[in-house]
Amino acid sequence: MAKAKSGDLISMLEPYFTKQAPFQIPKKWRENLVNWIPWINLVIGILLLPAVLVVIGLGTVVGIVAPTVGVSTGLFYWFSIVLAAATIALLFVTFPGLRARKLSAWKLVFWADVIYFAYGIVSSVSTGDLMGIVTQFIGTAVGLYVLFQIKSYYK
């Protein structure tokens, strides 16, 4: 069996979010997005960081106190924290590459979106939030649509 390449998922999804998409973002809007995406990602990373740190702190407290009353945080909780932390790290790491319009940075943002999608699904499943799963699919589709629409600006 041939080894799968990391770009296979990108190649598979690209036509659906570009040529086959019912609407193309106008060129001027795409150019503006390319200029603003590094800053948007930086702000999102800054806003998510304290939230994840608070959740980690609460999980630690629950992990220490809750077993006395028969409650625990569970594997899904800790797995979702790792996924959220990985997403935030990628948002910070990609800043210089996105400003320089490097395709390698674009790919890292793509994988950050994929990881955040996994985080949202794991988080929603662990809490039994069916609407969260639906929202995660919609949010990821919109995010990937925008990301693929601007991919041609990265070399």
The pLDDT confidence band at residue 60, using thresholds 50, 70 and 90, is low
17 vs 2 pLDDT, higher one:
17
The pLDDT confidence band at residue 38, using thresholds 50, 70 and 90, is very high
Q: Which two tokens stand for residue 134?
A: 């639906």
Quick check: helix, strand or coil at residue 73? coil
The mean pLDDT of the chain is 86
Q: Which two tokens stand for residue 131?
A: 């609407």
Can you tell me the distance from the alpha carbon of 112 to that of 115, in angstroms, rounded to the nearest whole number? 5
Closest CA relative to residue 33, chosen from 110, 155, 147, 141: 147
Q: In this model, does residue 66 exceed pLDDT 80?
A: no
Average pLDDT over every residue of 36-61: 83
**Alpha helices by DSSP H, 18-129:** 27-65, 74-93, 95-99, 103-127
Q: In this model, does residue 73 exceed pLDDT 80?
A: no
pLDDT computed for residue 98 by the predictor: 97
Can you tell me the distance from the alpha carbon of 75 to that of 55, in angstroms, rounded to the nearest whole number? 14
**pLDDT 10s digits, 89-144:** 998 999 999 999 999 999 999 999 998 898 888 888 877 889 999 999 999 999 99
pLDDT computed for residue 149 by the predictor: 97
Closest CA relative to residue 151, chosen from 87, 83, 85, 105: 105
